[in-house]
Amino acid sequence: MKVCTDACLFGAWVSQKTLVQNSNSIVDIGTGTGLLSLMLAQVTETSKASITAIEIEAQAAAEANSNFNISKWSDRLTIVNDAVQNFTASSKGLLFDIVISNPPFYEGDLKSPDANKNKAAHSTELPWSILVENVSSLLSDAGAFFVLVPTLRAYTMQKLAEAHQLQLVEEVLVYNDAKHLPFRSFLNFTKAKLPIDKEISVLRNKIVIKNTDNTYSTAFTELLKDYYLHL
């Protein structure tokens, strides 16, 4: 499976959060070939956080496991080749400080002839309602949930999360360039219990990937310079 620019940018954005860097336990739902887990492993060397990566598709899980084994953080990375529902049911109340996910989000779109790609990309395998339900079960009190979604469906994710007591605290809109509308949203939810009458002020920002001359923007470069060899 391809490593996409938006996923790399998302992982770098999550990685610079102090809460993530100081965490002790992380779960990556729908890890694919392990990109996000490896990025978070790099920034949690001090806390030595344990990272559990869940992937339902067998070939992707095998690739993730191979990538983990050849990394220098292999002792902190664990791959689980199963559906997140099964993992939650078998974890017997195990809770995590951080949950991160780049979930499948295509719904009625034309499917690929490749069944494995469909399993990875189409939300019929993991409806967002099921994803959020499991996130809420796996997340510790005051824990944080980070998710990457298409901007046009960000509100849908927000309402599903709120139904499971997850409060949106930050949203970043991602633009390919300044001439186009945003195409991805990075969402940060907290499970912290807040007074019913307290209104939350959501922090809102944006990241533009490329300048008008087609070079990478300063914001993009700053986030990914520790990961992209050519920056």
How far apart CA 187 and CA 204 sit, in angstroms, is: 10
Cα 64 from chain centroid?
Answer: 15
Domain with residue 142: its CATH number is: 3.40.50.150
pLDDT of residue 23: 97
- Domain membership of residue 230 (yes or no) is no
pLDDT of residue 93: 87
- Domain membership of residue 229 (yes or no) is no
Question: Nearest 5°: phi and psi at 79?
Answer: -100, 140
Average pLDDT in the chain:
90
Q: Which two tokens stand for residue 64?
A: 């993730």
- Residue-wise pLDDT for 102-146, tens only, equals 998 755 544 445 445 444 443 456 899 999 999 999 999 989 999
- Residue-wise pLDDT for 85-100, tens only, equals 999 999 988 999 999 9
Query: Domain residues for 65?
Result: 5-224
- Domain membership of residue 218 (yes or no) is yes
pLDDT of residue 184: 97
pLDDT at residue 1 tops 70: no
**How far is the CA of 173 from the CAs of 3, 150, 153, 182, in angstroms?**
20, 10, 12, 6
- Domain membership of residue 32 (yes or no) is yes
How far apart CA 66 and CA 40 sit, in angstroms, is: 17
Tell me how many domains the chain contains.
1
Is the pTM higher than 0.85? yes
Specify the higher pLDDT residue, 58 or 116. Answer: 58
**Cβ atoms of 166 and 135 closer than 8 Å:** yes
- Residue-wise pLDDT for 159-208, tens only, equals 999 999 999 999 999 999 999 999 999 999 998 776 655 667 899 999 99
- Domain membership of residue 65 (yes or no) is yes
